[in-house]
Amino acid sequence: MTITSNTNKTTYKILVVDDCKPILEVIQENLRNASYIVFTESEVEKAIEFLAENKVDLLITDLRMPNLSGLELIKHVRENFSDMEVILITGYPSIQSAISAVKEGAEVYLVKPFSTDELLSSVNLVLEKLERRRRAHNIEIPAGSYGIIGESDAMKKVFKLIRKASETDLNLLISGESGTGKELIARAIHNNSRRRSAPFVPVNCTAIPENLIESELFGYAKGAFTGAGETREGFFQLAEGGSIFLDEIGDASLALQCRLLRVLQSKEVVMVGSNRVQNVDIRILAATHQNLPNLVSKGLFREDLYYRLNVLEIKVQPLRERGEDIFLLLNFFLARLKKGSNLSSINFSDEALQTLKRYNWPGNVRELENFIQRLAFLYDGEEIKSSSLPVHMKSMISGGTGLNKTLAEVEDEYIKKILDSVSGSKTHAARILGIDRKTLREKLKRILK
Ligand SMILES: Nc1ncnc2c1ncn2[C@@H]1O[C@H](COP(=O)(O)OP(=O)(O)OP(=O)(O)O)[C@@H](O)[C@H]1O
Ligand SMILES: [Mg+2]
């Protein structure tokens, strides 16, 4: 089985502590340019608070600071976090402080002023060591697997289920909000299963017109109807030996559900205009943003089909419930953008990062990805401050949209924001808002008036 684990440096988190702001900024910039995730604090007390809430891989700390010193911070880290590396920097080199620092557990000792190269090679050195240690102790490298980024417990569970699901041929249902990565997961399972060299065929269950269900799914024979000039295979023949991905299964019409149920039971298909029964060898993967048991109880989804699909289930948590993944994803998308373009660097201020962490991401990972793309081109080479972030991100966090707005204004703003987060797709926006497309269209007419 091939597992592609994403262990590049874009996923390491580094906290830099120094009471001298200009030095802090230079180090931060150098490390961010090298694609690390960087946080800064100018006081030891604040750093301790930060570490209580955020997991980091490496601490870089100054030695002499007012109040608590860097040595005390190192001691705190050694006592509380076993899986963290430490680099000490100081402008006052002395044998004594170096000895103390090493005794307390600093890996590397850097004397100011140091060059960017010196900084980066020290950082590389300790992070390589950290990675070797994690491997040796079999600590899961937290960046993610299968090209899917995430280190939250929720995502670790998903990775485990992907591995299990890849080893069997059982039907699987993936559920989760829009933009949480359901299709990514389905592809990962196919690509890690014994079927990987056969096709993965996605079928959008909302996009098949009622009168074309049979011919789309099972194909048609030449001459089956007017216009059938050639024999054409349907999704099920195309996926032979591989996997079919029934996307948006919760939105399938009852007619489609009925047809799917039959083929899932019999594993046989017949082309329109033919009477030859074909056996198909296909793995079924399905996904939905809907709550299927709910639909079943309302009579909108067939219970028998639900049980057939739901032999295995993967539930993907919304991004707001796995805040630990936000910085990882942010850095992953930034690094990917940089690779494919001539963008120089994109930096976020610490305050902006905290805003992003607390924002509720209704469009999930897709929203984050779009957001970063837009921002990267707007702010190439500049630091993104909290003040440069869209108003809706900040207003959502501060727990209100302003106390002087009418309900209609708040609604308009929210609708615009959601549309923005899904790159203008009305289908997605309507889904997130929990209204149908028609209602959304009406509301947009009002907004755009
Ligand atoms: N954990 C992740 N790591 C990296 N990229 C991700 C992750 N989750 C989602 N994405 C990216 O976010 C986007 C949306 O993912 P995907 O299409 O799989 O979502 P979905 O759950 O199928 O959404 P929808 O219900 O709207 O169809 C894609 O570009 C995908 O690559
Ligand atoms: Mg999808």
Token pair for residue 38?
């960087």
Confidence of residue 35 (pLDDT cuts 50, 70, 90): confident
Domain count, the chain: 3
Q: What is the mean pLDDT of the chain?
A: 85
Rounded to the nearest angstrom, the gap between the alpha carbon of residue 298 and the centroid of all alpha carbons in its chain is 32
> Residue 245's closest CA among 205, 209, 300?
205
Question: For atom 30 of ligand 1, which residue has the closest CA?
Answer: 181
- The string of pLDDT tens digits covering residues 366-410 is 999 989 888 887 787 788 888 888 877 876 654 444 455 666 777
Question: For atom 29 of ligand 1, which residue has the closest CA?
Answer: 366
pLDDT value for 92: 65
Instruction: State whether 119 and 27 are in the same domain.
Output: yes
Q: Which residue has the higher pLDDT, 36 or 301?
A: 301
Instruction: State whether 218 and 298 are in the same domain.
Output: yes
Give CA separation, 90 vs 36, 222, 353, in Å.
22, 80, 27
Over 60: is that where the pLDDT of 7 sits? no
Over 80: is that where the pLDDT of 263 sits? yes
CATH of the domain at 114: 3.40.50.2300
Find the mean pLDDT for residues 194-208.
92
Mutation test residue for ligand 1: of 10, 161, 183, 422, the one with most atoms within 8 Å of CB: 183
Over 70: is that where the pLDDT of 247 sits? yes
pLDDT value for 61: 93
Helix (H, G, I), strand (E, B) or coil at 4: coil
Instruction: State whether 72 and 216 are in the same domain.
Output: no
DSSP 88: E
Residue 85 bridge partners (DSSP)? 58
Residue 134 Cα to ligand 2 midpoint, Å, equals 34
Q: What percent of the chain has pLDDT over 70?
A: 89
Nearest atom, ligand 1, residue 369 CA: 12
Maximum mean pLDDT: which of 75-89, 101-115, 175-189: 175-189
Nearest atom, ligand 1, residue 368 CA: 12
Over 80: is that where the pLDDT of 220 sits? yes
Mutation test residue for ligand 1: of 315, 337, 365, the one with most atoms within 8 Å of CB: 365
What's the rounded Cα separation, in Å, for the pair 287 and 154?
Answer: 18
Residue 368 Cα to ligand 1 midpoint, Å, equals 10
Instruction: State whether 280 and 310 are in the same domain.
Output: yes
Helix (H, G, I), strand (E, B) or coil at 171: coil
CATH of the domain at 416: 1.10.10.60
Residue 175 Cα to ligand 2 midpoint, Å, equals 10
Sole residue written with tokens 């090493």: 102
Nearest atom, ligand 1, residue 149 CA: 3
Residue finishing a domain among 82, 110, 136: 136
pLDDT value for 402: 45
- Taking the CB of residue 76, how many other CB atoms lie within 10 A of it? 17
Over 90: is that where the pLDDT of 114 sits? no
What's the rounded Cα separation, in Å, for the pair 431 and 409?
Answer: 20
pLDDT value for 139: 43
Residue finishing a domain among 248, 283, 316: 316
Instruction: Return phi, psi of residue 242, to 5°.
Output: -115, -145
Asked if the structure places residue 334 within a domain, the reply is: no
Residue 148 Cα to ligand 1 midpoint, Å, equals 9
Instruction: State whether 72 and 181 are in the same domain.
Output: no
Residue 365 Cα to ligand 1 midpoint, Å, equals 6
Question: For atom 13 of ligand 1, which residue has the closest CA?
Answer: 366
pLDDT value for 414: 82
Over 90: is that where the pLDDT of 134 sits? no
Q: Which residue has the higher pLDDT, 113 or 215?
A: 215
> Residue 95's closest CA among 114, 78, 109?
109
Residue 355 Cα to ligand 2 midpoint, Å, equals 27
Confidence of residue 15 (pLDDT cuts 50, 70, 90): very high
Q: 243, 281 in Cβ contact below 8 A? A: no
Least confident of 192-206, 271-285, 327-341, 384-398: 384-398
Q: Which residue has the higher pLDDT, 354 or 92?
A: 354
Confidence of residue 4 (pLDDT cuts 50, 70, 90): very low
Widest CA span in the chain: 91
Find the mean pLDDT for residues 12-24.
92
Over 90: is that where the pLDDT of 18 sits? yes
Residue 282 Cα to ligand 2 midpoint, Å, equals 20
Find the mean pLDDT for residues 162-171.
94
CATH of the domain at 223: 3.40.50.300
Over 70: is that where the pLDDT of 282 sits? yes
Find the mean pLDDT for residues 51-73.
88
pLDDT value for 262: 94
Residue 32 Cα to ligand 2 midpoint, Å, equals 32
Domain that holds residue 400: 341-448
Instruction: State whether 124 and 158 are in the same domain.
Output: no
Instruction: State whether 253 and 166 are in the same domain.
Output: yes
pLDDT value for 5: 30
pLDDT value for 96: 67
Confidence of residue 140 (pLDDT cuts 50, 70, 90): very low
Token pair for residue 44?
């030891």
Residues with CB under 6 A from ligand 1: 148-150, 176, 178-184, 289, 329, 365-366, 369, 428
Question: For atom 16 of ligand 1, which residue has the closest CA?
Answer: 181
Over 50: is that where the pLDDT of 345 sits? yes
Instruction: State whether 129 and 33 are in the same domain.
Output: yes
Asked if the structure places residue 146 within a domain, the reply is: no
Q: 295, 250 in Cβ contact below 8 A? A: yes
